[in-house]
C-alpha cells in the first residue's frame, strides 16, 4: 500500500512544491486549499481593503501531482472554519483510509493581520491564532489516532523565523506583524507536545523552517521587495519539501527531533 501524505495550503507556493516532491517520491498526496479553480484565488491587500488576485488552485496542483506520478486528492478547506478543517481530514481518511504524513503548511491570510502594535485589531489577532494554531491542532487530533494504531507516522509543522526572531523593521517597512508572529510561535509548540506524548509509539513530529521564500501570495500582496532589500538569503521553494520527504523516510531524522530545522541548509546537504 502506498504511503499517504496530507499537505495543507497546497494551491501554490511551498505547499504545492512539497506536494510535488512527495508525488515524485511515490506518495499518494491529498492536499487542501480554499481556492478550487484557477483564476478565483485572492489574498488580502497589504494596505487598504479588498483582495488581490493570485495564481494557484487545487485543480492546478492536482494536475501537477498526477503529472509527477502521484495520485491526487484535492480537498477544499478553510482554516478559519474548524468544521471545514475536521471535515477535510475526515475526507482523506474516508477516501484513502490513512494519513502517514501530515504537513501543516497552510497559514491564514486575514485583512489587518500585519498591523502595527497599536493598530492591531484584537478580533483579527484572534482569527490569526485560530487559523494558524487551532486549525493545525484540529488536524493533528483527527489523523493522530490512526498513526498511533498503525505504530508509525510523521507530523510536520511549517515553522517561521518570525516566531523566534525580532522583525528587522515595522510591518509596512519589511517586517512582520505581531499577530502573525504570535500565531506561528503558538503552533511551534505543537511538535514538541506530540513527541513528548507519542514518540514511543512510532510517531515523530518536526518543526521545519522553509527559509525566506518569496511566494506567489507574497508578491501579489506586495512587500517582497522589502524582504529582498533587507539582504535575507532567499530559499528555493522546494527545499522544505525535499527535507520533509527525507524526514518521513529516514530513521536518521530522529537527530533533528526537538530542533527547528533550517530547510535550505539541510536540503543542500542532502543533495550532496
Q: Which domain holds residue 68?
A: 4-270
Mean pLDDT score across all residues of the chain: 90
pLDDT at 244 over 70: yes
Q: Which residues contact 167 (CB under 8 A, 6 or more apart)?
A: 174, 175, 176, 181
pLDDT digits (tens, 9 = 90+) for 20-30: 999 999 999 99
How far from chain centre, in Å, is Cα 103? Answer: 6
Q: Domain containing 91 — which CATH number?
A: 3.40.50.720
- Asked if 2 and 22 count as a contact pair (C-beta separation under 8 A), the reply is no
Domain count, the chain: 1
Please tell me the number of Cα atoms within 13 Å of 254 on its side-chain side: 6
pLDDT at 169 over 80: yes
pLDDT at 142 over 90: yes
pLDDT at 214 over 80: no
Please tell me the number of Cα atoms within 13 Å of 197 on its side-chain side: 11
Cα separation values, 192 from 85, 86, 132, 198, 250, Å: 22, 22, 17, 10, 19
Query: What pLDDT score does 175 carry?
Result: 87
- Compute how many other C-beta atoms are within 10 angstroms of the C-beta atom of residue 155: 25
* Confidence band, pLDDT 50/70/90 cuts, at residue 48: low
- Structural element, H or E, at residue 19: helix 13-24
pLDDT digits (tens, 9 = 90+) for 88-136: 999 999 999 999 999 999 999 888 888 999 999 999 999 999 999 999 9
Amino acid at each position: 500500500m502506498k504511503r499517504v501524505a496530507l499537505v495543507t495550503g497546497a494551491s501554490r507556493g511551498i505547499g504545492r512544491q512539497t506536494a510535488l516532491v512527495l508525488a515524485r517520491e511515490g506518495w499518494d498526496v491529498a492536499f487542501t486549499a480554499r481556492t478550487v479553480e484557477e483564476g478565483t484565488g485572492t489574498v488580502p491587500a497589504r494596505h487598504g481593503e479588498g483582495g488581490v488576485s493570485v495564481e494557484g488552485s487545487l485543480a492546478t496542483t492536482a494536475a501537477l501531482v498526477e503529472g509527477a506520478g502521484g495520485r491526487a486528492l484535492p480537498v477544499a478547506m478553510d482554516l478559519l472554519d474548524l468544521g471545514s478543517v475536521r471535515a477535510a481530514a475526515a475526507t482523506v481518511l474516508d477516501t484513502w483510509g490513512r494519513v502517514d504524513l501530515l504537513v501543516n503548511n497552510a497559514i491564514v491570510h486575514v485583512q489587518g493581520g500585519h498591523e502595527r502594535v497599536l493598530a492591531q485589531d484584537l478580533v483579527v489577532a484572534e482569527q490569526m491564532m485560530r487559523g494558524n494554531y487551532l486549525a493545525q491542532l484540529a488536524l493533528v487530533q483527527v489523523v493522530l489516532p490512526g498513526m498511533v494504531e498503525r505504530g508509525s507516522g510523521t507530523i510536520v509543522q511549517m515553522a517561521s523565523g518570525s516566531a523566534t526572531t525580532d522583525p528587522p523593521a515595522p510591518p509596512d517597512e519589511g517586517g512582520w506583524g505581531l499577530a502573525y508572529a504570535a500565531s506561528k510561535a503558538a503552533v511551534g509548540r505543537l511538535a514538541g507536545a506530540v513527541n513528548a506524548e507519542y514518540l514511543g509509539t512510532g510517531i515523530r513530529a518536526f518543526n521545519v523552517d522553509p527559509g525566506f521564500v518569496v511566494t506567489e501570495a507574497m508578491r501579489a500582496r506586495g512587500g517582497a521587495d522589502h524582504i529582498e532589500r533587507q539582504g535575507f538569503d532567499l530559499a528555493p521553494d522546494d527545499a522544505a519539501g525535499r527535507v520533509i520527504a527525507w524526514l518521513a523516510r529516514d530513521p536518521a531524522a530522529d537527530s533533528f527531533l526537538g530542533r527547528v530545522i533550517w530547510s535550505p541548509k539541510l536540503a543542500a546537504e542532502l543533495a550532496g
